[in-house]
């Protein structure tokens, strides 16, 4: 016969090609595709909220009230008279030593150096608890002239002093008189006074 059959080697090659093709059609998916995790089952990450710090509030201190200081009123002219106000800074005397003070007034005519003799009658259990009457002669001196006259007054524990003086002016104050009432300062530590400068002589006593 004239037909030649393929050799055994060619036949074996065809069989191997057929087997490889069959294996390729039944191949498993890629290992990467098989192990991929669906997005729907991934854990949800909640973002951390931004925390705004609370500002520190510093308490405002309560101001300590400052005591009101009442200024000395101005001298008041009433016709030929003048109403005055004065402060006294004093070294108190005893029956053997005079009282000495610096007087500061809203009228320069009664600002100056004050000196007075000091006499008393006292009652009470001790000097810190009692009362007294007091009297003497006072002089108030400055560059313009001199005021001089008798004074009298009282003192009582817890009440302080009330002292009145009738001055007669001399030098630049000749022809004038000055009546003054001294009381203990409301804050302690000194005397305050009101007075009246007027023409003529003090009233007869």
Return the pLDDT at 66.
Answer: 40
* 121 HSE (CA, 13 A, CB side): 3
* Three-state secondary-structure class, residue 111: coil
Query: How crowded is residue 56: how many other Cβ atoms within 10 Å of its Cβ?
Result: 5
Q: Which CATH class is domain 76-199?
A: mainly beta
Domain ranges of the chain: 76-199
The pLDDT of residue 15: 47
pLDDT recorded at residue 188: 62
pLDDT at 160: 86
- Tens of each residue's pLDDT in the chain, 205 residues: 444 444 445 444 544 444 444 545 454 444 444 445 555 555 565 666 666 666 666 655 554 444 333 457 889 999 999 999 999 988 776 666 788 999 999 999 999 999 999 899 999 987 678 999 999 999 999 999 999 999 999 999 888 889 999 999 999 999 999 999 999 866 666 789 999 999 999 998 7
pTM reported for the whole predicted model: 0.63
Helix, strand and coil percent figures for the chain, each rounded to 5: 15, 45, 40
């Amino acid at each position: 016969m004239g037909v030649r059959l393929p050799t055994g080697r060619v036949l074996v090659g065809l069989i191997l090609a057929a087997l490889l093709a069959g294996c390729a059609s039944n191949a498993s998916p890629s290992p990467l595709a098989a192990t991929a995790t669906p997005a729907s089952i991934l854990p949800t990450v909640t973002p951390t909220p931004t925390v705004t710090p609370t500002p520190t509030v510093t308490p405002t201190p309560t101001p300590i009230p400052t005591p009101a200081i009442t200024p000395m009123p101005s001298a008041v002219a009433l016709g030929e008279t003048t109403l005055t106000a004065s402060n006294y800074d004093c070294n108190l005397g005893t029956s053997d030593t005079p009282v000495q003070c610096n007087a500061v007034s809203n009228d320069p005519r009664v600002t100056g150096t004050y000196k007075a003799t000091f006499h008393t009658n006292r009652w009470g259990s001790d000097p810190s608890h009692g009362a007294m009457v007091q009297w003497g002669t006072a002089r108030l001196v400055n560059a313009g002239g001199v005021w001089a006259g008798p004074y009298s007054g009282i003192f009582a524990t817890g009440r302080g002093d009330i002292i009145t003086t009738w001055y007669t002016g001399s030098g630049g104050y000749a022809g004038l008189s000055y009546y003054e009432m001294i009381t203990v300062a409301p804050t302690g530590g000194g005397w305050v006074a009101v007075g009246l400068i007027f023409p003529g002589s003090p009233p007869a006593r």
